[in-house]
Amino acid sequence: MMLSHQDALAPLLCCPDDAVDRTSRYHFCYHGGVNAARSLRYARRHARLSQRELADRSGMPQPALARIESGRVTPRLDTMSRLLEACGYAIEIVPSAALDRSAIRRLLRLTPRQRLDLAVTEAGNLDRLLRR
């Protein structure tokens, strides 16, 4: 079954690992809102495997694989990793550049004058640090 470009990108960001080390493996680059069922189904179809073949390769019963692909069950990370590896994919966990929103909320609770005073204080601290 052929997947459209949009179907391929919707559940994941996929980047060929061979761009780095010249192998045929791919990485799943997870981001917020990744759907395990769609990602696994995409990887299995892209590897041209039936559910039975993937079940045999991964040592998982086919009915359990069907429950994951249907979204009725959410797999643990180690299970998802094992299934994706059997399809020639790997999960890559990278640190997020997430913002600490609590600090932003604290600043927004300040009055404009308090924010200005804080900015002047922080600028002075930065200036002293750079003079060392």
Using one digit for the tens of pLDDT, what is the confidence trace for 38-88? Answer: 989 999 999 999 999 999 999 999 999 999 999 999 899 899 999 999 999
List pLDDT tens digits, range 100-112.
Answer: 678 788 889 999 9
Task: Kindly state the helix (H) or strand (E) to which residue 112 belongs, with its residue range.
Answer: helix 112-131
Going from the C-alpha of 13 to that of each of 46, 97, 121, the distances in angstroms are: 14, 17, 42
**Residue carrying the six token digits 């073949």:** 53
Better-predicted residue by pLDDT, 113 or 20: 113
Half-sphere exposure of 104 (CA within 13 A, CB side): 4
Strands in the chain per DSSP E: 13-16, 26-29, 89-92
pLDDT of residue 10: 38
Pairing of strands 89-92, 13-16: unpaired
